[in-house]
Structures are given as structure tokens and as C-alpha cells.
Amino acid sequence: MEKYLSLSGNHSSNKRSLEGLSAFGSLEELILDNNLLGDDLVLPGLPRLHTLTLNKNQITDLEYLLDHLAEVTPALEYLSLLGNVACPNELISLEKDEEDYKRYRCFVLHKLPNLKFLDARKVTKQEREEALVRGAFMKVVKPKASSDSVAVSPKSRYTPLPSASRELTSHRGVLGKCRYVYYGKNSEGNRFIRDDQL
């Protein structure tokens, strides 16, 4: 009887099938890190599975994944999705911040209320209460591409420069004085520079 299973990535194959997991009905821990798994991930029913890590895969559709996990893994208590686009954090994308991650945690806890750990952090009582009240409203909605929108070709990409300034040989420099004085109050970068060097 297998209780723990770790599948390492087979990156040479384009087809990543998890059909064989149905033979492990008493599986309790499953590690699927670094397997290039995407939104087409389908797990068989694993009623005893309490730990699942899907770190560093290619999962983007969080709601689909959570609905699927709620259906096939009713005993799930530990889930980790770090390193996926679906898990917003500052290490993956500079556009994400701590507030994005808090909303993500709230939404996950709303969908999977039995979780005790999410992404290596224990679920707090306060997070659980907030998920009950606001979790349904924390879903990140992505705008859908309309069928009548025209795809932007790489040649016609937006550029803030006027068309005459785009060519490397036809530039015109600008020289002037700036009235802004930098004091460097919040910067550590200039602490070894004397005032007479500025």
C-alpha cells in the first residue's frame, strides 16, 4: 500500500498523463513539482490524499484547479502551488505584491475550507474567517479576448517614441538643466558620496 508518491518531471515528453494514479487509491501524499503540468491537469479520485504539492508547474486557471481538487481530494489539508502563475507572489512576477497573495490565499481557503497549510504557511483562524466572509469575492478575473479584436503584430507594437526617433541613426539629443534636486533621504546607494561630489 503506497502512502507517498513523488513524480519527477519528464520534460522530453509532451504528453504528461496522470492516469496511472488511479491504481493508488490509498495514496496520502503526492508531489508533482517541476512536471510542466498545466490547466489540463486531471487527477483521479484520491479520497485519502491529504498532501499535494504542485510547485513550479504551468498552472494559470486557479478556480478550475480548486474546483477539481475539491471534487477528487476531499481529505486535502496541505496544498502548495508556489511557482505557478496561479499563485501570485513577488518572486515570480514583479507586478504582484503581498496584497495579491493575501487575496489568493483567501480565495483558495474559500474553495478548500479544510486546508491547514497553504504554500508552506499554516492557515490562521483569521484567514479562515475572512475566507468565509469575503473569499468568493477574491477571485482574480482575467479579461477574455474578444473574437473580433485584431491581433497586434510585432511590427506595429506601441512605442512611446515618435516615429522619427525610432531609428538609431536619426536621433536628436536634448540638453538642459533640471530643477529637481536629489537629496537621497531614503537611499543607501549614495551614503559614501560627499556633498561636494554631487
Q: What is the pLDDT of residues 70-88, one digit of tens each?
A: 999 999 999 999 989 888 8
Find the mean pLDDT for residues 115-136: 90
Find the mean pLDDT for residues 179-193: 59
Report which residue type is found at 168.
Answer: L
Distance CA 149, CA 156 (A): 15
Q: Which of 13-22, 124-133, 148-157, 160-169 has the highest mean pLDDT?
A: 124-133
* Nearest to 140, CA basis, from 86, 73, 184, 81: 86
Neighbours of 196 (CB within 10 A): 5
Q: Which residues contact 159 (CB under 8 A, 6 or more apart)?
A: 166
Q: Per-residue pLDDT for 60 more than 60?
A: yes
* Nearest to 64, CA basis, from 46, 82, 40, 88: 40
Distance CA 51, CA 21 (A): 15
- Grid cell, residue 166, equals 525610432
- Predicted pLDDT at 109: 94
Edge to edge, what strands does the sheet with 51-53 contain? 4-6, 29-31, 51-53, 78-80, 117-118, 121-122
- Predicted pLDDT at 89: 77
- Quick one: what percent of the chain has pLDDT higher than 70? 60
Q: What are phi and psi of 79, to 5 degrees?
A: -135, 135
* Nearest to 63, CA basis, from 137, 1, 119: 137
Q: pTM of the predicted model, to two decimals?
A: 0.64
The per-residue pLDDT of the chain, averaged, comes to 77
Q: Does residue 27 contact residue 7 with C-beta atoms inside 8 Å?
A: no
- Grid cell, residue 136, equals 468568493
* Nearest to 187, CA basis, from 179, 198, 174: 198
Reported as a single tens digit per residue, the pLDDT across 153-172 is 455 555 555 555 555 566 56
Distance CA 35, CA 9 (A): 4
